[in-house]
Structures are given as C-alpha cells and as structure tokens.
C-alpha cells in the first residue's frame, strides 16, 4: 500500500441504491490507491438493504458483510458515534461519499442539522473544503429537494444523482451500477476501468 494511500468515508442511507453502495465499497477495497475506508450505515439503510439484497431478517453484521465482503480496509462505525474520526476536521480525509443519499439526509446537510455521524461527516467535509459526493436517489424531485441540492452545491458538495447512462448500451443492472460507480470514482480522482467512457 502506497504511503499516500487515500482515506475515504462511505455513508449509506435509507434511499434505494444498496447495489451501488456495495459495488463502490468493493471498488474502493480493491483499489491500490485507497488505504482506509470508513463506513457507516443508517438504520433506514439497513431496512432498505434487506429488501434490495434479498436478505429479509438479516441483522446489521450480516448486511455489513454482504456490503463489504472480507476486505480488511473497511472500518464500520455506528450511526450515532459522533466521536468517530470522520466527525472531526482535524482528521484528514480524502473524500466522503453518501451513497445512496436520501432526501432527508440531503435536507439535514443543507440546513446544517447534524443529528448523526453521517450528517456530521458531511458537515466536516464541507467546512474543511474536502470532496463530498451525494448520490441522491429520488424521483421526482420536489422544489424543496431542488433547493437543497442548490444549497449543498453552493457550499461545495457534488450532487451526483443515481441515474443510468444509456450510451453504453447496458444489458444488466450490474452494468448500470458499474457505470455509475465509475463516475463516483472519477470525482474521487481514482483511476479505474469501470464502465465505458463516451467515445471510447
């Protein structure tokens, strides 16, 4: 592992998109430029993941394992552990990704209402002028959603909605997910070979 290996936080909230979170964690875990991954999952995310990963009744440890496999890079934190490393600006982070990002989480970030570790990690990323990527998942957007997205964008976040691309002619859900996760890695400035680039 290079001395300059990056430390990335991945937060998973209760919107649809568990497959995207799982694929991102796998990609980061396998990436030679990533040394540490801090992961946190909300209670709502656990409920959604049970449904989307076909694991009804599974507990948090089982879902975490499904999300991260056996990677030794991932450190899981509890949702309400506001004393965790990524809750402090003095702890250097290279990027924070909230994927999927519920519109409730978006609203909390936009208003600065930090009620858990996910909100606080986003708040720290903004105040320290570090990369913050919000994989918002909702359809359609209300005016409130759009106003909140404008607010966080003006504050420095990158709003990267979970939307499919079609120029790559995806044939499976996995291909749609890979194309999207590749865009997340682009904004984390991590080289990758996921998906297909326009004109390539």
What is the phi-psi region of residue 189: left when phi exceeds 0, alpha when psi lies from -120 to 50, beta otherwise? Answer: left
What CATH class has 6-187?
Answer: alpha beta
CA angle 138, 68, 83 (to 5 degrees): 80
Where helices occur in the chain by DSSP H, the ranges are 18-30, 43-52, 60-68, 103-111, 117-127, 143-155, 173-187
CA 165 to chain centre: 19
pLDDT for residue 158: 98
Inter-residue contact 96 to 133 (CB < 8 Å) = yes
- The Cα 6–Cα 164 span in angstroms is 27
- For the chain, which ranges sit under pLDDT 70? 1-3, 200
- Measured CA to CA, the distance from residue 83 to residue 133 in angstroms comes to 22
Query: In this predicted structure, what is the pLDDT of residue 2?
Result: 60
Give the integer Cα–Cα distance in Å for 200 and 185.
18
Yes or no: say if 157 and 126 are a contact pair by the CB < 8 Å rule: yes
pLDDT recorded at residue 180: 97
């Amino acid at each position: 592992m290079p001395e300059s290996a990056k430390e990335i936080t991945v937060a998973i909230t209760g919107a649809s998109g568990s497959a995207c979170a799982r694929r991102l964690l796998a990609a980061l875990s396998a990436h030679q430029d990533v040394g540490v991954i801090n992961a946190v999952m909300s209670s709502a995310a656990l409920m959604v993941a049970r449904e989307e990963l076909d694991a009804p009744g599974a507990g948090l440890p089982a879902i975490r394992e499904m999300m991260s496999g056996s990677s030794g890079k991932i450190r899981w934190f509890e949702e309400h552990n506001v004393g965790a490393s990524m809750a402090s600006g003095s702890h250097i982070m290279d990027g924070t990704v909230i994927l999927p990002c519920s519109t409730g989480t978006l609203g909390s970030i936009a208003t600065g209402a930090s009620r858990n570790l996910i909100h606080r990690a986003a708040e720290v990323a903004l105040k320290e002028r570090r990369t913050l990527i919000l994989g918002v998942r909702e359809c359609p957007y209300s005016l409130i959603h759009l106003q909140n997205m404008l607010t966080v964008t003006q504050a420095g976040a990158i709003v990267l909605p979970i939307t499919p691309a079609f120029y790559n002619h995806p044939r499976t859900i996995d291909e749609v997910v890979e194309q999207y996760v590749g865009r997340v890695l682009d904004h984390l400035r991590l080289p990758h070979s996921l998906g297909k680039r326009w004109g390539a």
